[in-house]
Structure 1
Amino acid sequence: MENNKYDIIIIGGGATGSGTALDASSRGFKTLLLEKNDFAEGTSSRSTKLVHGGVRYLEAAVKGLNKDQYNLVKEGLKERSRLLKNAPHLCSRLTLVTPIYKWWELPYMFIGLSLYDFVSGRRGLGRSSIVCKNKMINNFPSIKKSGLVGGVKYYDGSFNDSRLNVTLLKTAQKFGADCRNYSEAEEFLYEEGKISGVKVRNKITDETYIVNSKVIINATGAFSDKVRTLDNKEAKKMLDLSSGIHIVLDKKYLPSQEGLMIPKTEDGRVLFILPWMGKCLVGTTDEKTTLSEHPEVSQKDIKYILKHLEIYFDLKIDESEILSSWCGIRPLVAAPKNASTKSIVREHIIISSDSGLVSILGGKWTTYRKMSEELVDYVTSKFALKNKECQTKKLKLIGSENFTKEMQVDCLDEDIKNYLIKMYGDKANDVLNCVETVERLHKDYAHTNAELIYTIKEEFVQKPMDYIVRRTSLALIDKQAAKEILNKVLAIMQKELSWDEKRVNIEKENSLELLNNSL
């Protein structure tokens, strides 16, 4: 890569950066993406796993006659539809139910969610309906029954965020993009005051090298302001950071495939209780925070979630029952003074510095594709690149090109077969073909030696946590199980990547530290 000239260099390997790499490379631009850690290591693997327009935004739009909020919802629903079509193995329809405990809230909520259906138009996933009290109790046996009036059912999208992130990169790679994790942009290079390249350090080998381009994009999410000060020490802060945590509980708390949406907690937040990867996912909180590479879950936030679960469930949930928990940092475009982070519209903005560094700030997973399209349009205009039409609106992502739910997979174990189809789509058999004998890594889960070797060879895995947390999400649903497979993962990686014992011990120590403190 030394002294290589690119049309576009992107810094940041989360949702926006990866989406932009795909948009740019599919238009024919020679594209390089740099990520200082693993892809989707930050916010992009720690979402609520929803592809949605935003019911809360729609309520705010109607109450405040706010056209910007309304347009944000409409755009989100349009992108939801595209994502479900372009990556059907990773994205699916999700049924959500809002429990109602005051009779007058039933028509209010039904009208509001029917309006959500109306805004969805022909892209709608189903019509909202009222659910009677008895059916609510039947579908959600643990729900608090005292005062329950009924519920309102509606539909949104669910997805696997970290898998989608790596799928975007693999698809970009198909179009010639060069995608590098553990490659940190240490400083910018300039010619006559204009940005012209990046000095990059490979964090695995500690080597440094220079890459050149007049178009350099800062898509680093929560770290965007930090990268902007790398270009200009006087750069004004433009982000408000908000932390959101999620906890994972046993499936017994949500035995059906329907989720619950609590529209307004005592302090006005939205709480989701969702089926995810065979578990019950609950989140999220919304607290102002400071920048951190590995944000930790606070006891205060865990107590907040457990407290609200007790409001809506008859069961007493003990903290020891939490299988895993994690914290993500949301990069929100700075709000007016004294505004709370939950009141900020999660819109995005694109700006450029005097030297030409282009930064994209804000946004959310659902609209990553639209943000990427706007960003590439912006740089082609600003830097007079040959304008080429966006290709991503109907572009099937890797794994979905020949995908059907009735795919034939060469595996006798039903759970492994179903797991591979959901995670890898039409690449499921490619995963199995990596080994002669498929062996489980854990008796209770469908992860195998074949999957690990495949992700090392094909999906940029360089450290154990790349696989355990982001390629499989095991650590995000069962931290103890993740610890139990760690030694097997290390043994396979040692063989595949020719590690010595010193490297194995370092990786084990680092992995346990992250498992114990960040999950």
Structure 2
Amino acid sequence: MVKEALTERANLIEIAPHLAYPFPIMLPIYKYWQIPYFWAGIKMYDFVAGKQKLKSSYYLSKKKALEKFPMLKKEALKGALVYYDGQHDDARMNIAIAISTARMGGSVANYIEVLELHKSKDENGKEVVSGARVKDRITDKEFNIKAKCIINATGPYTDHIRLMGNKDDQKICQPSQGVHIVLPDYYSPEDMGLLDPDTSDGRVIFFLPWQKVTLAGTTDVACEVTDKPSPSENEIQFILSEVRNYLHQDVDVRRGDVLSAWCGIRPLVMDPNKSDTQSIARNHIIEISENNLITIAGGKWTTYRHMAEETVDKAIDVCNLKTTSGCRTKGLMLDGAHGWSPTLFIRLVQDFGLENEVAKHLASTYGDKAFKVAKLATLTGKRWPVSGKRLHEEFPYLEAEVRYAVREYACRAVDILARRTRLAFCNVHAAEEALPRIIEIMTEELKWSKSRQQAEMEHAKQFLRREMGLDLGAGTSSVPINFTKDEINMYVKRFKSLDYENKGFITVNDLRRYFKKIGERVTEDQLHDILNEVDLNKNAQVDIGEFLQLMSALKSGNVSNSRFAKAVLKSSELDRIPVERSGGGV
């Protein structure tokens, strides 16, 4: 399996060099015995790769490791091992494969749902699958498709399609969900990732530079298949906790730094003898049902081409399909790769007056098709850049990419946010800000009605809220602080009344003292819950900024049931001195 994956990895980098490339990953070492242990492992990895090896792995001293990864935890660090793997733009790779298929005569249909499988008798009287009833999810129209052979390659929906063929079939897949989060770029160096193969619960954690931000993950939990998988706050906190374990104490890993969070479903092949998802094999299987439905399940991105080759070979044999040649996909350049070179972006800058960052993005995303995108770019009206209006000022995505995406089967606003650009993944708030303009451009291209525009807006916002983490961590954090000078002074005074040791932040100990002072019984779990509801950074401390944020939310009506806020208000009432005891009055 490893040899196959390494061979396919090398092929992927060859056929799509603009999308896939070698990438170094560091394994920090904190125990001396791990040095020979991990060294032997990665050198065996190099040996198995043979000629397919990307670059040789190597050892870094503690000093060199900290030079490469200065935010790494210094205490007890012995050194680090670095090995090379591949990194790619998975969304664009998927589009490149689809476009390449269409260019070679294949038919590609987007937003088509299978409703049922049709069956008929073959020449021997055997009942076999012979077509499907499908539905266009955009227009809601249904129609039939005839087929000599049907291949079920539907990932997490594998068993859903299999049961259409035979409702008595046993399930062969165990879906598992994995959550990823995105952090600002300063959480990782530009050219190296970090992997921890031994987290607190035995899973693997990583954080990598990706799309000018830092990608961190992942979790691995058995789940049910859903069209709208959502990340949970607990999973986000788990990843942040593991990231904290590997970063220097000077690096404050804050919940507020999470720019986006999402959940994916892995279609793992289930081992019926084991229950935990970590023991499920990641390799693929090909199943032939009694009615000739061919199912390919499991596997991973790296080996997609080999999986397809094996599956089609099986289909030719099982369904008696005629062929004119053997498989030709190995070494076949994907869309955009033919005229690409590492310096292609320079021509984009010179020919179209694009910004350097934008030109590099277009070249590394579209390859030699970047010129087609650049031709759609509008003039900026500035001296520089001459052309190329951005969708969002923080990211290199152009308005022209929306128009180009429509020509590449993009049908909905969500397609642009998440499946053509990576804006929703890089920063969910930036995606929300860019959404109205995206809908405007798609309306110009696709002639959408007012009702369709409204539907797209609602659909995209729901996607960002439920599937990209926009709702998580919301509440007080989204409310602007809006106080007068006197109000700020009043709330600062209240903050200091709870901050018993004048530390600059409030902790559980402060709350414990406060509730004891007023004679109210509160359990330890309740204390932590009260603190956690306003602790935006999730560092077990409430600083003055978080405190003012909550008070502002309370004042504006965005928060009405905060137990922390009620404690603050009660504290202010207790601190008031009655007139008759103040020494004043008449």
Q: CA deviation at 1:381?
A: 0.8
Kindly report which structure 2 residues correspond to 1:151-190, keeping only aligned pairs within 5 A, or say none. 151-190=80-119
Q: CA deviation at 1:336?
A: 3.0
Kindly report which structure 2 residues correspond to 1:1-400, keeping only aligned pairs within 5 A, or say none. 72-192=1-121, 193-314=127-248, 315-387=251-323, 388-400=325-337
For 1:431 and 1:285, locate their aligned partners in 2 and report how far apart those are by CA, in whole Å.
37
Q: CA deviation at 1:359?
A: 0.9
Q: Which moved more, 1:273-282 or 1:403-412?
A: 403-412
Encode CA deviations 1:420-441: one digit per residue, 9 max, x unaligned. Answer: 0010000001111124533211
For 1:283 and 1:436, locate their aligned partners in 2 and report how far apart those are by CA, in whole Å.
38
Correspondence 1:434 to 2:370: no
- Residue 84 of structure 1 aligns with an amino acid whose one-letter code is I
For 1:172 and 1:129, locate their aligned partners in 2 and report how far apart those are by CA, in whole Å.
39
For 2:91 and 2:268, locate their aligned partners in 1 and report how far apart those are by CA, in whole Å.
20
Equivalent pair of 2:292/2:318 in contact (CA under 8 Å): no
For 2:445 and 2:306, locate their aligned partners in 1 and report how far apart those are by CA, in whole Å.
38
Equivalent pair of 1:97/1:261 in contact (CA under 8 Å): yes
* Counterpart secondary structure, 1:469: helix
Q: CA deviation at 1:339?
A: 3.6
Q: List 4+ stretches of structure 1 deviating above 2 A.
A: 336-339, 434-438
Report the TM-score, using the length of structure 2 for normalisation.
0.75
For 2:59 and 2:244, locate their aligned partners in 1 and report how far apart those are by CA, in whole Å.
24
Equivalent pair of 2:187/2:214 in contact (CA under 8 Å): yes
* Counterpart secondary structure, 1:510: helix
Correspondence 1:450 to 2:400: yes
Q: CA deviation at 1:267?
A: 2.0
* Counterpart secondary structure, 1:229: helix
Correspondence 1:411 to 2:355: no
Q: Which has the higher strand share?
A: 1
For 1:203 and 1:304, locate their aligned partners in 2 and report how far apart those are by CA, in whole Å.
36
For 1:86 and 1:435, locate their aligned partners in 2 and report how far apart those are by CA, in whole Å.
28
For 2:158 and 2:318, locate their aligned partners in 1 and report how far apart those are by CA, in whole Å.
20
Q: Which moved more, 1:339-348 or 1:492-501?
A: 339-348
For 1:186 and 1:357, locate their aligned partners in 2 and report how far apart those are by CA, in whole Å.
15
- Residue 168 of structure 1 aligns with an amino acid whose one-letter code is I
* Counterpart secondary structure, 1:269: coil
Equivalent pair of 1:140/1:256 in contact (CA under 8 Å): no
Among candidates 453, 475, 481, match of residue 430 of structure 2: 481
* Counterpart secondary structure, 1:506: helix
Equivalent pair of 1:139/1:256 in contact (CA under 8 Å): no
Encode CA deviations 1:462-494: one digit per residue, 9 max, x unaligned. Answer: 001101111111111111110110000000111
Match in the other structure for 1:33: none
Encode CA deviations 1:164-190: one digit per residue, 9 max, x unaligned. Answer: 001000000011111111111111112
For 1:435 and 1:331, locate their aligned partners in 2 and report how far apart those are by CA, in whole Å.
39
Match in the other structure for 2:444: 495
For 1:214 and 1:296, locate their aligned partners in 2 and report how far apart those are by CA, in whole Å.
38
* Counterpart secondary structure, 1:152: strand
- Residue 350 of structure 1 aligns with an amino acid whose one-letter code is I
Q: CA deviation at 1:254?
A: 0.6
Q: Which runs of 5+ in 1 are unaligned?
A: 1-71
For 2:402 and 2:451, locate their aligned partners in 1 and report how far apart those are by CA, in whole Å.
21
Equivalent pair of 2:377/2:389 in contact (CA under 8 Å): no
For 1:230 and 1:334, locate their aligned partners in 2 and report how far apart those are by CA, in whole Å.
20
Match in the other structure for 2:416: 467
For 1:336 and 1:356, locate their aligned partners in 2 and report how far apart those are by CA, in whole Å.
24
Distance 1:476 1:238, change over 3 A: same
- Residue 159 of structure 1 aligns with an amino acid whose one-letter code is H
Match in the other structure for 2:466: 517
Equivalent pair of 2:442/2:448 in contact (CA under 8 Å): yes
* Counterpart secondary structure, 1:369: helix
Q: Which runs of 5+ in 2 are unaligned?
A: 122-126, 380-387, 469-586
Higher relative contact order (CA 8 A, sep 6+): 1
For 1:339 and 1:391, locate their aligned partners in 2 and report how far apart those are by CA, in whole Å.
39
For 1:295 and 1:467, locate their aligned partners in 2 and report how far apart those are by CA, in whole Å.
19
* Counterpart secondary structure, 1:505: helix
Among candidates 412, 421, 424, match of residue 366 of structure 2: 424
For 2:367 and 2:449, locate their aligned partners in 1 and report how far apart those are by CA, in whole Å.
35
Q: Which moved more, 1:252-261 or 1:143-152?
A: 252-261
- Residue 442 of structure 1 aligns with an amino acid whose one-letter code is H
For 2:209 and 2:352, locate their aligned partners in 1 and report how far apart those are by CA, in whole Å.
25
* Counterpart secondary structure, 1:326: strand
- Residue 359 of structure 2 aligns with an amino acid whose one-letter code is K
Report the TM-score, using the length of structure 1 for normalisation.
0.85
Equivalent pair of 1:243/1:288 in contact (CA under 8 Å): yes
Q: Over the residues paired in the alignment, what is the CA RMSD in angstroms?
A: 1.1
Encode CA deviations 1:81-140: one digit per residue, 9 max, x unaligned. Answer: 000000000001101110000011112111111111111101111111110101111211
Kindly name which structure, 1 or 2, has the bigger radius of gyration based on alpha carbons. Answer: 2
Equivalent pair of 1:246/1:326 in contact (CA under 8 Å): yes
* Counterpart secondary structure, 2:352: coil
For 1:266 and 1:369, locate their aligned partners in 2 and report how far apart those are by CA, in whole Å.
35
Equivalent pair of 2:159/2:171 in contact (CA under 8 Å): yes
